[in-house]
Amino acid sequence: MNISSTGELSLSGFDLIVERDRAPQLWDELMNTGQPLGVQPMGEAAYDVLRIEAGWPASKIDFDEELNPHEAGMLPYINFNKGCYIGQEVIARLDTYDKVQKHLLGLVLEGDIVPVAKSPISIADQEVGYVTSACHSIGLGQNIALGYVRSKFADDGREVRVVSDKGAMMGKLVKLPFTIVQ
């Protein structure tokens, strides 16, 4: 088993990497040992809310092989000094010449509608991006989303309109992570 610390949810935590056939036994051990300490499992929906609040992009949801680490806000996880790796030249060129086409940003949304993935983001009737993940944030008390916005429109506080299959909503762009008022 491998254990590594993680801060992806803006909380202290650990990732446990274990062989698949050992996972059920490890789960039982963790739940039994942690029960007196108040440890409770977290479901996928709760994890997703925390992930979105933290601005943590999920693989195959918020980024894929078509997007790059610059666009997904993952530059802190890129080693520019490491020797040859796939995509190194492209990432270095984007960094050197500031040619990033779009940025992953947060959206704070008005109203009760939670947009679906790929819902278009518009500014003044011009489509400038799309939503990747969205949820109702209990910490913020409103609906939020992650989405990609073209670089020239990616200003913090900028008013946007999102059209989903459930209707349209107004919102504003924010830098990630979202700020939760305690």
Determine, yes or no, domain membership for 48.
no
Determine, yes or no, domain membership for 60.
no
pTM recorded for the entire structure: 0.86
pLDDT over 80 at 181, yes or no? no
- Please tell me whether residues 33 and 79 are part of one structural domain: no
**Number of separate domains in the chain:** 2
Q: Residue 52: which of 139, 135, 156, 116 has the closest Cα?
A: 135
Per the model's pLDDT, the better-predicted residue between 64 and 133 turns out to be 133
- Please tell me whether residues 155 and 98 are part of one structural domain: yes
Tokens of 151: 């670089």
Per-residue pLDDT, 108: 97
Q: What is the CATH number of the domain that holds 158?
A: 2.40.30.110
- Please tell me whether residues 79 and 35 are part of one structural domain: no
Contacts of 109 (CB under 8 A, 6+ apart): 115, 134, 142, 143, 144, 145, 162, 169, 170, 171
> 27-35: which pairs have CB atoms within 8 A and are 24 or more residues apart?
none
As a whole number of Å, the CA-based R_g of the chain is 19
- Please tell me whether residues 126 and 36 are part of one structural domain: no
Determine, yes or no, domain membership for 164.
yes
Confidence of residue 182 (pLDDT cuts 50, 70, 90): very low
- What pLDDT digit, counting tens, does each position of 149-161 carry? 999 999 999 999 9
- Partnered with residue 160 across adjacent β-strands are 171
- Please tell me whether residues 31 and 85 are part of one structural domain: no
Q: Residue 13: which of 45, 49, 52, 39 has the closest Cα?
A: 39
- What pLDDT digit, counting tens, does each position of 3-36 carry? 988 877 877 788 889 999 999 999 999 999 999 9
- Please tell me whether residues 167 and 87 are part of one structural domain: yes
Determine, yes or no, domain membership for 47.
no
State the residue range of the domain holding 150. Answer: 75-174
Question: For 66-70, 117-121, 175-179, which range has the lowest pLDDT when averaged over its residues?
Answer: 66-70
Tokens of 109: 């949304």
Determine, yes or no, domain membership for 56.
no
